[in-house]
Amino acid sequence: MARIDEIRKRHRERRERFVQSVRSKGWGIPNDVFSPEKSGLNGSVMKPREGTSQTFLIKCVISAALVFGAGIFYKSYADAFPEAEKIIHYALNEDVNFAKVSDWYEQKFGEPLALFPSDTPSEKVSLKNKGFSIPVSGGLTVTKDFSDTNQGIFIQTEKDAKVEAIESGFVVSVNEKKEIGKTIIIRHSDGTESWYGKLDKVNVKPYDFVKKGQIIGTVTKNSSENKGIFYFAIKEGDHFIDPIQVIQFE
């Protein structure tokens, strides 16, 4: 204790000399700035704020619990991660069937737009019973049938005949194709695609939603006659089917 008292005495003397020196220079330091009560040198022990240690301890316990819980979760559900990875990979790489989404939404809410497709499985309906409309009308003559191309048919039409969508769906492609020229491809809610080739004018663009009977373009003019020429095909899955077996052309 004698040693501690001696140290305190020296601090006190040093403080008093410093205060006298500062005041002699006229700096106007208040009298109580270096008082033992203000400086904490009055022999008392400075204590931390109440609750600081308890708060720190609580935070440490919560952090440990979170780390421990994450470890348990990982160990318990590790086997499920590969399957989840497959699902996520499929969702990010597969095209969304926008046509099916739109049909579901239109049936539920009367608008041709949807955020999520219906989860209710629907019965597969034969394409013959789909009630597809005719893509072009008036004076039609099939110049090349399905057996000649194994994909679609070529039809002679009236000059500047309008081309209509056979069913509601989303436009997935508008581009030039070899032998059939400017072509529109529409994907429908059942996954089938309708192809409209040999077009002169196109009224739609990719990702447009079109309704059944909507005009999407006009046929190409036949250079040798005052007629038009049109290509049409229906694709189901990976295979083309004969349109004449599905649609009753005039």
Average pLDDT along the chain: 76
Average pLDDT for residues 33-51, to the nearest whole number? 51
pLDDT of residue 117: 47
180 domain-assigned: yes
Question: What is the share, in percent, of the chain residues with pLDDT greater than 90?
Answer: 30
Domain count, the chain: 2
Alpha-carbon Rg for the chain in angstroms? 42
pLDDT per residue as tens digits for the range 85-122: 555 556 556 665 666 666 666 665 555 544 444 444 44
174 domain-assigned: yes
87 domain-assigned: no
206 domain-assigned: yes
Query: What confidence tier does 66 reach under pLDDT thresholds 50, 70, 90?
Result: confident
pLDDT of residue 31: 56
Whether residue 34 has pLDDT greater than 90: no
Does one domain contain both 134 and 234? yes
Query: What confidence tier does 213 reach under pLDDT thresholds 50, 70, 90?
Result: very high
pLDDT of residue 225: 72
pLDDT of residue 65: 87
- Longest CA span, the chain: 125
Contact between 234 and 222 under an 8 Å Cβ cutoff? The reply is no
pLDDT of residue 7: 76
pLDDT of residue 153: 92
Contact between 128 and 245 under an 8 Å Cβ cutoff? The reply is yes
125 domain-assigned: no
161 domain-assigned: yes
Does one domain contain both 33 and 135? no
Exposed, middle or buried by CB within 10 Å (0-12, 13-18, 19+), for 19? middle
Question: What is the share, in percent, of the chain residues with pLDDT greater than 70?
Answer: 62
Average pLDDT for residues 44-73, to the nearest whole number? 73
CATH assignment of the domain containing 162: 2.70.70.10
Whether residue 205 has pLDDT greater than 60: yes
56 domain-assigned: no
Residue carrying the six token digits 């095909």: 233
Exposed, middle or buried by CB within 10 Å (0-12, 13-18, 19+), for 177? middle
pLDDT of residue 170: 95
Whether residue 141 has pLDDT greater than 90: no
Query: What confidence tier does 136 reach under pLDDT thresholds 50, 70, 90?
Result: very high
34 domain-assigned: yes
* Structural domain harbouring 194: 130-245
